[in-house]
Structure 1
Amino acid sequence: MDLPVVVGVDGSEPGLRAVDWAADEAALRGVPLRLVYASLWERYEGAALAQELGRTSEQILADKIVDAAVRRAHRRRPDLKVEAEVVPDGPVPALVTEARRASLLVLGARGRGGIAELLLGSVSLAVAAHAHCPVIVLRGSHDLRAQPGAQGRVLLGVGEEARSSAAVRFAFQEAERRSAVLEAVRAWRCPGHETTEHPLLAGGPARMHEQRAAETLEAALNEVAAEHPSVQLHRRTAEGTARRVLLDASVTADLLVVGARRQSGFFGLQLGRVAHTVLHHSACPVAVVPQPA
C-alpha cells in the first residue's frame, strides 16, 4: 500500500501554498494526496448537540476550508487522487498522528495566526519536532514549487553521524525525482586553542579539520551515491558553523534537507540547534528527516 503525502490545511495562504507543494510531491511519488484540517469544534460543542442544532459555524468553516484546498489540489494536479478529512483534534496531535501513516508531511511556515513569515509558526515547529515521517516546511519566499524547482538544486546538510542516514537517502531520492543537482555540505571549524602564531605552522590545524570534514562527507555519501548513479552530486566542505553555512547556501536552493535523531526518554523527535535554526531562518523550504534509533 502506497502511503500518501499528507498536507495540513487551515485556510491560510501559506496553507494553500503547502497544498501546491504537496500535490507536486504526491505526483512525483505516484501516491495519493491527503488533506487534513484539524478542528476542535466537536470537543467544544459536543457531537450530540451538534446533531440536534445542525451544523455549527465552525463546522461550516472547516468544510469550506477543506473544499477550497481540494479544488486547489485538483487545479494543480488534475489526475491526482485526493482525499480530505476534518479531524476533531488540535493541529499538532492530529498531524503527528497522521505522520505515522504518511510517506511525507507538508506544512506551511505560518498559519492564520501569523502576521509574517520571518519566524516559524508554533504548529509547524512542534510537528517537525515530533513527526515520524519526513516533514517539509515551506520556508522562504522564492518559487515554492516542488517541480520544477527554480534553482534545480537540493541542499543536504551532513552531520557527524550521517553514514547511511535517513536524511542522506531522502536527499538523494528528492534530487532524483526532480532531476536536480544534489549539493552535500559538511561544515567545519578550527577551535581557537588549536591555532598557532608560527608562520610555518599556521595552516596546519585548519587543514586537519577540513580534511576530517571531507572524510566525513565521503563516508556519509558513498554508499547511497552508488545507489543513485543518475544524481549529479556536488560535495563541499565549508568553514564556519553548520547553521550559518546552511543558511547562506539555502538562498540558491529549492530544498534544504537536515536530519533529526530521536532521543531516548522523549516523545518523538528532539530538534537539534541546526534543524531548529534553519526551520526558523532558511531562505528555502526545509525537510526534516527523522533518523530511526
Structure 2
Amino acid sequence: MNLPLIVGVDGSEPSLRAVDWAADEAVLRRASLRIVYASLWERYEGPALAPEVGGTSGRVAAEDILAAAARRALRHHAELPVTTADVLKEPEYALVREGRDASAVVVGTRGRSGLADLLLGSVSLTVAARADCPVVVIRGNHNSRAVGGGQDHIVVGVADAPTAAVRFAYEEAKRRGAALEAVRAWRCPRHETVGHPLLTGGPERLHEERAAKELEQALADAPLEVRLRRRTAEGPAHGVLLAASRDAGLLIVGRRRPGRLGPHLGRVAHTVLHHSGCPVVVVPEPE
C-alpha cells in the first residue's frame, strides 16, 4: 500500500467537496484515505457547516463531522480504506504534521457565505506554503471529481530546469491517462532592443525561442507514455497559467525551496491558488 492521502475537513461544504476529490485520487494511487479534523479549525475560519453534517454550529461534535466526511468518501468508493482522526491542534500545524508521512494533503477553499469559492482560507494557504508533500487545493468550477467531467488534460507550469512539479505532473498524467500540457511563460522587456544586424524578427522572437529551448530542456526526461503538449506563451506566468486552468482538470505549480525567512509561496503559486479555474497542486522542491 502506498503512503496515505490526507484530506482536511471542518464540516463545511468546500471541505466535503475536497473529500470527494481526495477519494477519487486515493483510488487512483491505490492508497488509503485519512480524514483529519483539527478541533481548533473554527477558531480560525468561522462556522459554516454543510447541511449534510446536521445540527447547528457549536452543537456538532467532531465525530459527526468525521462521520459525514467518511460517508462522503465511501459513497462512490465503498472498498476504499478510510480512517479518521480528531486532532486537538491548530489546523495548520495538524495538516502540515500529517503531511510528513503522506503522499499528498488535500484541502478545500474556505471563504465565508457565498464567497466560499472565491476566497482562499488562511489554513489552506498556510498548509500549501509549509507542507513537505504536495498540497492540493480544491477550487474552481468543477464537479469535485479527480477524473472525468470532460476535463481531459492537466497543466503544469514549467521553470527553466526539471523540477519536482514536472515529475509530479508526469505521474499524475499517467495515473489519469490524461494529456499533460507543459506551459512556459515568457516576457520581453518593453524597451529592449537587439543590436546585432544579422538577427531578425525583433527581441520578442529571441525571447520566445529561448523559452521554447528552456521548455525542451526541462522536459528532456519525459516518459514516452505521457501524451505531452508543449506550449510557450507571452505574458506573466500567473496570468498564462490562470488562462490555462479554465478548461483543465488540474493545475500543477512548484514551490521554491525555503529561504532565510522559511517556507513561503511565490507570486505565481499565491495567485493561482486564489483564482484558478480548477484544482491546484503546489509541489515543494526538495531542500
Q: Distance in 2 between matches of 1:189 and 1:78?
A: 49
Q: In the alignment, which residue of structure 2 is the partner of 1:242? A: 237
Deviation string 1:86-117 (CA, Å, 9 cap, x unpaired) is 00011111101011111011010116677432
Closer/same/farther in 2, CA of residues 189 and 112 from structure 1, 3 Å limit: closer
- Partner residue, 2:286: 292
Q: Distance in 2 between matches of 1:277 and 1:62?
A: 32
State the Cα RMSD in Å.
2.4
Question: Do the aligned residues in 2 keep the contact of 1:33 with 1:82 (CA within 8 Å)?
Answer: yes
Q: Distance in 2 between matches of 1:266 and 1:64?
A: 39
Partners of 1:8 and 1:35 within 8 A in 2: yes
2:251 matched to which residue of 1? 256
Residue type matched to 1:239 in 2? E
Q: Distance in 1 between matches of 2:135 and 2:200?
A: 43
1:150 to partner: Cα distance = 2.2
| Alpha-carbon distance, 1:142 to partner | 2.2
Instruction: Give, in whole Å, the separation in 1 of the partners of 2:89 and 2:12.
Output: 18
Q: Distance in 2 between matches of 1:114 and 1:99?
A: 30
Question: In the alignment, which of 267, 272, 282 is matched to residue 266 of structure 2?
Answer: 272
Structure 1 residue aligned with 2:61: 61
1:145 aligns with 2:145: yes
Q: 1:143·1:150 contact (CA, 8 Å) conserved in 2? A: no
What is aligned with 2:187? 189
Deviation string 1:147-205 (CA, Å, 9 cap, x unpaired) is 22521111010123x32x110010011111111010000000111121479xx977321
1:211 counterpart residue number:
209
Structure 1: where are the runs of 5+ without partners? 42-56
Report if the CA contact (8 A) 1:154-1:183 is conserved: yes
Give the match for residue 276 of structure 2. 282
Contact in 2 for aligned 1:148/1:178 (Cα 8 Å): no
**SS of structure 1 residue aligned to 2:264:** coil
CA distance in 1, matches of 2:136, 2:117: 15
Corresponding residue for residue 134 of structure 1: 134
Residue type at the aligned position of 2:131: A
Where does the alignment leave 5 or more consecutive residues of structure 2 unmatched? 42-56
Contact 1:258 1:289 in 2 (8 A): yes
Structure with higher Rg: it is 1
CA change 1:113–1:38 in 2 (3 A) is: farther
Return the offset for 1:58. Answer: 6.0
- Runs of 4+ that moved beyond 4 A: 57-60, 111-114
C-alpha change, 1:169 and 1:21, in structure 2 (3 Å) is same
C-alpha spacing 1:114/1:126, structure 2 compared with 1 (3 Å): farther
Matched to 1:221, the amino acid is: L
1:111-122 to 2 correspondences below 5 Å? 115-122=115-122
For the 8 Å contact 1:259–1:291, the answer to whether it is kept is yes
Contact 1:10 1:112 in 2 (8 A): no
Q: How many residues align?
A: 273
Quote the sequence identity (%). 61
Q: What amino acid does structure 2 have at the position aligned with 1:206?
A: E
CA contact (8 A) 2:111 2:119 kept: no
Determine if the alignment matches structure 1 residue 109 to structure 2 residue 103: no
Give the C-alpha shift of residue 118 in structure 1: 1.3
Give the letter aligned to residue 237 of structure 2: A
How many angstroms does 1:60 deviate by? 5.2
TM-score, length-scaled by structure 1? 0.87
> In the alignment, is the contact (CA less than 8 A) between 1:12 and 1:111 conserved in 2?
no
DSSP 3-state at the match of 2:284: strand
Distance in structure 2 (CA, Å) of the matches to 1:242 and 1:123: 25
Over 3 Å counting, the alpha-carbon distance change for 1:245 and 1:40 in structure 2 is: closer
**Letter of the aligned partner of 1:212 in structure 2?**
R
Q: CA deviation at 1:144?
A: 2.8
3-state DSSP of counterpart to 1:86: strand
TM-score after normalising by structure 2:
0.89
Tell me how far 1:265 sits from its aligned partner. 3.1
Q: Distance in 1 between matches of 2:114 and 2:127?
A: 16
* Structure with the higher helix share, 1 or 2: 1
Q: CA deviation at 1:67?
A: 0.5
